[in-house]
Structure 1
Amino acid sequence: MMKLFRMLKPYRIPIIFILALIFLQTMAELYLPTLMADIVNLGIVKGDVPYIWKIGGFMLLIAIGGTTCSIIASYLSSRTAGGFAKQLRSRVFRHVENFSLQEFDKLGTASLITRTTNDITQVQNVLTMMLRMMIMAPMMCIGGIFMAVSQDAKLSTIFLVVLPVLAGAIALIGSKGFPLFKQIQKKLDRLNLVLREQLTGIRVVRSFNRGEHERVRFNGANTELRDASIKVNVLMATVMPVMMLVMNFSMIAILYFGGLRIDGDHMNIGSLIAFVQYAMQIMFSLIMVSMIFVMIPRASASAERINEVLDMQPDLSDPAQPRTMKLMQGTIEFDRVTFRYPGAENAALSDISFTARSGETTAIIGGTGSGKTTLLSLIPRFYDVTEGTVRVNGTDVRELKQEELRSKIGFVPQKAVLFTGTVADNIRQGKDDASMDEVIHAARTAQAENFISEMKEGYDSLIAQGGNNVSGGQKQRLSIARALVRRPEIYIFDDSFSALDFKTDAKLRAALKSETTEAAVLIVAQRVSTVMDADRILVMDEGKIVGSGTHKELLENNEVYREIVSSQLTEEEIA
């Protein structure tokens, strides 16, 4: 956790003010019992009413001053902790943005969300307490002991027994609590995972009547979290009873032995009252420490999880000395490329070699699991090749800055993803400064203009979270428009026409031809009708290219392609 607190450097001045204010507040609270002792010993016992009013007024001023310091310190500590949490969340978010798909696969989306929200909130809460209690408690404890000794040194020997007992109890409970809090955060990850899967897949759950199964899964994860929380809360709940028990026995001992010292004329009544108040301050300072120790284990577990994210270095990074891309517009070259997913025994791609040039359409077709999407993922460097080289415009993609590389690519993923905002905002995801004319032109080319014009607000119509208020085909067309508005040198369509009817598919491909005359186009598709007009078709099977050529050439020479075609087209259509 101390590693994260290094980020508090920008807040040094507010922290110094907080320390000063808490010091003044503590001094005020420590001085009040001494003044009370003076009122009793010199005012009440002697019947000096003016002295009582004088010291009483002074006590009121000190109390007001201490309260003012407390209010300002609370405000500054909340501002500091809030600013720290904001800065930390931004840092985690920026770091996660640089992750490759391998890091996302390793940590999991649900866990990353928990770490960015709940875990940082835990650290923020404990920081708020530490800025006040962690500083105030030791000052109050040490100051209280010093002031108690000044009232009666012999009676203060009670603390030699009490303080080690309390410190031992706090340390024992804190050490037991840390691993339990770590478990709680993992259980929370699991609950978030189940909940996220259930909500995002609600259509599948309902269509297959799996509601009861999902309820059982959710209840299982929820019960595990509840049981872990109860276990740790029962442990932490023992702190307060132990503290109160020790404190009450201490009060009994102080009053008993203090009474004996008053009876023997070794102590005044006012001094005993002050001593009792100092004892209470010492005990309450230890209660504050115990409250911090209740929160610190959970915050430490959260801090460990946050540091795990921040310490994780992306497998993909920009080169120290990036090269400038050569002036070979829209050329992609795979040179003996082999790729293996981390931890996998078999390669997903083996010995892939081909070149896609500007002005050409290269289509990739093959059975499920043949490696088509994996192949496309290597071009924008979602993954790095295991062996071989992928070149864009003649330059190895590993020697280019990722931002420069991806600025040349218009990528349409297999699963269409839309964001909350207007239709125009979603299309402008491809180009922030696109004019309205460019947006409309891209939508028209993507065959999206008709359904957009039928929407109530047209291009200003709102898209719901995940695009749930538009159909699958409409999502795909908006995703295609998003790539088109960019006017990149390379277009990658990863099975992006699957939700379109044959008529719309044909119209869209015809419109794309005039838009992509100076760009390299790669299309992955399941439909033969989508790829048959391509300049070249690559046939993939089990991670290898087993055929390359035009539709006519492959029908004559490639058995795998003939099987795919015959499974989709009639003999008349093939002819």
Structure 2
Amino acid sequence: MYRKLLKSIRDYKRQTLLAPFFVMLEVVMDVLIPFNMGRLIDEGINGQDMTALWRIGTLLIFMVALSMVFGVMSGRFAAQSSAGFAKNLRQDVFHKVQEFSFENIDKFSTGSLITRLTTDITNIQQAFQMSVRVGFRAPMMIVFALLMTLRINWRISLIYLIMVPILGYGLTKITRIAHPKFKQAFKVYDKLNVIVQENLEGIRVVKAFVREKFENKKMTDVSSQMYEKFSKAERTVAFNAPLLNFSVYLSMILLMWFATVQIMGGQMTTGELISCVSYTMQILMNLNMLSMIFVMLTISDASMQRVTEVLAEEPTIANQTAPLTTVDNGEIIFDDVCFKYTEDSEEFSLEDINVTIPSGSFVGIIGGTGSSKSTLVQLIPRLYDATQGQVKVAGQNVQAYDLEVLRDAVAIVLQKNTLFSGTIKDNLRWGNETATDEEMVHACQLAHADEFIQDFADGYDAYVEQGGRNLSGGQKQRLCIARALLKQPKILILDDSTSAVDTKTEAQIRENLSHEMPDVTTVLIAQRIVSVEQADFIIVMDNGKIDQIGTHDELLASNQIYQEVYASQVKGGLADND
């Protein structure tokens, strides 16, 4: 786990090494200062030697100045290395998520991924900064202070040799108990983020259905769970302070008692006592620092595991060795295809799919909710891979193509239309980042989006709010279609992406596509019969299987599902071409 995370240090290795180097120099100065303070008292004050007083006093001032400089440098490099490490780690996790297939993404909720990219990485950054600076300083200071105490009076040093293991054992015990509790708490954190995200994204629905009280209760419940989990973890960690205070006071009492006896017996000087008291404070203060690191590492260890889970996740869809880099045409073949979302699933979502779609044809797919229409088309650009059988494009298994090449050749407008904050041009250039203004206008004309874009004061430079909230459903759908057309694909998949467009406009879009892009294979998933009745053939899906394939007239004459859908829509006036 640590090795995988530390790979993200990369270009900040220099700062990561310089931080503990200057810490070491700072520790040397801090350890020598008490020793020379003892000399100043014994040789200068008690010995009434002004020369020694000036010499040692000047040396002490110089050491204090150096200690401050080394401290500033170590803090500076520690801050740079930790911030750089967090930046790289956040980028690595984000880039990893971009490589995920839909199957990988399904394993992590959106809220969980957001928590890992924000809160978890912030915890790791803080732990890293403390480790690079305090994590080096505290042990070095404890060891060096012990060595100096041994040099001054070995009997006094026995106090520390007894107290340090006791304190170390107590801190380790606290860490082991608190760690699983923090791990549980972060799972609740994920749930909290999911609720916040869903509420903010669906705030209009919440308002429309007057569900504010229900949403408030959800937030109250998860906040209470979070309070309970974090309280249990923090209560365990809270034992750290009493344990440390006990160690500090007991050490000081024992030190004063033994030192008094030895001073009265002439075995110890006043200056040596002052030095030992200073070393005692250094040891105990740095034990306190170590305990803080223990707490931080306890909290961050759960975060480290969660971030490592994302980094260690292997994409289920990846390029094969020497992949194909050209898609010749838009022919699609499903050859004995079966699919299920997870290996543990007992039933297939798609089963025994056999169909050939010639290049340049217009194919409709229709079926009830849950008949796996969207799942079927998502196998074509390898958003998922078939569990059994083969999906072929231009006569080649889709797994043989380079992923980027395949997905550039297949433009898919998903059921959920997604637009991003930015201008209309910014959104259109997702289809082709080098598209000219003329190409964008032409694509929008084909998708019947140009007419409403021209109504905006800023035209194609009009701002689109996050998720396209300032656009209607039909406007969003037409923009998404135009964006897909800019890819100039071999295959165009429209997954119920004209449902918010009126039938007349939809018919004009289909007519534009057939005239302007005759060689493009178009696969249209629709709920309305009128949307697919002009297709070369129509695939009727039912419960993950192909119920029948045929033209509008053939299905209307022989397919019960198609007949029922047609009858219901004719009765409701939805199949009227006018």
Whether TM-score is above 0.5 comes out as yes
In 2: Cα distance, 1:294 partner to 1:181 partner: 11
Q: Which amino acid aligns with 1:269?
A: T
Tell me by how many angstroms 1:460 deviates: 0.9
Q: Which amino acid aligns with 2:16?
A: I
Tell me by how many angstroms 1:350 deviates: 1.9
Detail structure 1 runs of 4+ shifted over 4 Å in the superposition.
Answer: 570-575
Deviation per residue, 1:189-237 (Å, 9 max, x gap): 1111111122222222222222212111111111111121122222222
In 1: Cα distance, 2:421 partner to 2:457 partner: 17
Q: What is the match of residue 281 of structure 1?
A: 282
Note closer, same or farther for the CA distance 1:155–1:340 as it changes in structure 2 (3 Å cut).
closer
Q: Which amino acid aligns with 1:25?
A: E
In 2: Cα distance, 1:570 partner to 1:138 partner: 82
Q: What is the match of residue 74 of structure 1?
A: 75
Tell me by how many angstroms 1:14 deviates: 2.6
Tell me by how many angstroms 1:464 deviates: 1.0
Tell me by how many angstroms 1:88 deviates: 1.4
Q: Does 1:60 align with 2:64?
A: no
Q: What is the match of residue 220 of structure 1?
A: 221
In terms of mean alpha carbon deviation, does 134-143 or 341-350 score higher? Answer: 341-350
In terms of mean alpha carbon deviation, does 62-71 or 210-219 score higher? Answer: 210-219
In 1: Cα distance, 2:464 partner to 2:515 partner: 29
| SS, match of residue 230 in structure 2 | helix
Tell me by how many angstroms 1:289 deviates: 0.8
In 1: Cα distance, 2:375 partner to 2:47 partner: 93
* Pairs within 5 Å for 1:190-269: 190-269=191-270
Q: Which amino acid aligns with 1:477?
A: R
In terms of mean alpha carbon deviation, does 24-33 or 44-53 score higher? Answer: 44-53
Deviation per residue, 1:27-69 (Å, 9 max, x gap): 0000001111111111111333343233222211111111111
Q: What is the match of residue 332 of structure 2?
A: 332
Question: Is this contact kept in 1: 2:8–2:92, CA < 8 A?
Answer: no
* Pairs within 5 Å for 1:14-29: 14-29=15-30
Question: Is this contact kept in 2: 1:326–1:394, CA < 8 A?
Answer: no
Q: Which amino acid aligns with 2:109?
A: G
Tell me by how many angstroms 1:574 deviates: 7.7
In 2: Cα distance, 1:248 partner to 1:289 partner: 17
| SS, match of residue 78 in structure 2 | helix
| SS, match of residue 569 in structure 1 | helix
| SS, match of residue 154 in structure 1 | helix
In 2: Cα distance, 1:431 partner to 1:273 partner: 74
Tell me by how many angstroms 1:570 deviates: 4.4
Tell me by how many angstroms 1:324 deviates: 4.7
* Pairs within 5 Å for 1:342-421: 342=342, 343-421=344-422
Q: What is the match of residue 463 of structure 2?
A: 462
Q: Which amino acid aligns with 2:108?
A: L
Tell me by how many angstroms 1:257 deviates: 1.6
Question: Is this contact kept in 2: 1:141–1:285, CA < 8 A?
Answer: yes
In 2: Cα distance, 1:83 partner to 1:514 partner: 53
In terms of mean alpha carbon deviation, does 212-221 or 553-562 score higher? Answer: 553-562
In 2: Cα distance, 1:88 partner to 1:272 partner: 48
Q: What is the match of residue 316 of structure 1?
A: 317
* Pairs within 5 Å for 1:78-227: 78-227=79-228
Question: Is this contact kept in 2: 1:158–1:254, CA < 8 A?
Answer: yes
Q: What is the match of residue 299 of structure 2?
A: 298
In 1: Cα distance, 2:464 partner to 2:398 partner: 34
Tell me by how many angstroms 1:527 deviates: 0.7
Superposition RMSD in Å: 1.7
Question: Is this contact kept in 2: 1:19–1:135, CA < 8 A?
Answer: yes
Deviation per residue, 1:311-348 (Å, 9 max, x gap): 22122121123235463x11111122222221332222
Tell me by how many angstroms 1:355 deviates: 1.8
Q: Which amino acid aligns with 1:98?
A: E
TM-score (norm 2): 0.96
Q: Does 1:567 align with 2:565?
A: no
Tell me by how many angstroms 1:186 deviates: 0.9
In terms of mean alpha carbon deviation, does 22-31 or 79-88 score higher? Answer: 79-88
Question: Is this contact kept in 2: 1:325–1:394, CA < 8 A?
Answer: no
In 1: Cα distance, 2:569 partner to 2:431 partner: 34
In 2: Cα distance, 1:173 partner to 1:533 partner: 71
Tell me by how many angstroms 1:553 deviates: 2.1
Question: Is this contact kept in 1: 2:490–2:520, CA < 8 A?
Answer: yes
Q: What is the match of residue 472 of structure 1?
A: 473
In 1: Cα distance, 2:102 partner to 2:399 partner: 16
| SS, match of residue 335 in structure 1 | strand
Tell me by how many angstroms 1:135 deviates: 0.8
Tell me by how many angstroms 1:526 deviates: 0.4
Question: Is this contact kept in 1: 2:327–2:406, CA < 8 A?
Answer: no
Question: Is this contact kept in 1: 2:171–2:240, CA < 8 A?
Answer: yes
Q: Which amino acid aligns with 1:494?
A: D
In 1: Cα distance, 2:350 partner to 2:16 partner: 56
Q: Which amino acid aligns with 1:356?
A: I
Tell me by how many angstroms 1:10 deviates: 4.2
Q: Which amino acid aligns with 2:193?
A: N
In 2: Cα distance, 1:340 partner to 1:231 partner: 41
Question: Is this contact kept in 1: 2:13–2:81, CA < 8 A?
Answer: no
| SS, match of residue 69 in structure 1 | helix
Question: Is this contact kept in 2: 1:184–1:228, CA < 8 A?
Answer: yes
Q: Does 1:2 align with 2:2?
A: yes
Q: Does 1:514 align with 2:549?
A: no
Q: Which amino acid aligns with 1:337?
A: V
Deviation per residue, 1:453-496 (Å, 9 max, x gap): 12231111111111111111111011001001111111000001
Question: Is this contact kept in 1: 2:539–2:549, CA < 8 A?
Answer: yes
In terms of mean alpha carbon deviation, does 494-503 or 7-16 score higher? Answer: 7-16
In 2: Cα distance, 1:13 partner to 1:126 partner: 19
| SS, match of residue 140 in structure 1 | helix
Q: Which amino acid aligns with 1:447?
A: H
In 1: Cα distance, 2:108 partner to 2:28 partner: 48
| SS, match of residue 454 in structure 2 | helix
Question: Is this contact kept in 2: 1:490–1:520, CA < 8 A?
Answer: yes
| SS, match of residue 65 in structure 2 | helix
In 2: Cα distance, 1:412 partner to 1:231 partner: 47
| SS, match of residue 171 in structure 1 | helix
Tell me by how many angstroms 1:550 deviates: 1.8
Question: Is this contact kept in 1: 2:366–2:541, CA < 8 A?
Answer: yes
Question: Is this contact kept in 2: 1:25–1:70, CA < 8 A?
Answer: yes
| SS, match of residue 58 in structure 1 | helix
In 2: Cα distance, 1:560 partner to 1:127 partner: 62
Question: Is this contact kept in 2: 1:364–1:522, CA < 8 A?
Answer: yes
Q: What is the match of residue 429 of structure 2?
A: 428
Tell me by how many angstroms 1:85 deviates: 1.4
In 2: Cα distance, 1:571 partner to 1:313 partner: 49
Q: Which amino acid aligns with 2:566?
A: V
In 2: Cα distance, 1:314 partner to 1:12 partner: 29
Question: Is this contact kept in 2: 1:336–1:352, CA < 8 A?
Answer: yes
Question: Is this contact kept in 1: 2:325–2:401, CA < 8 A?
Answer: yes
Q: What is the match of residue 506 of structure 2?
A: 505
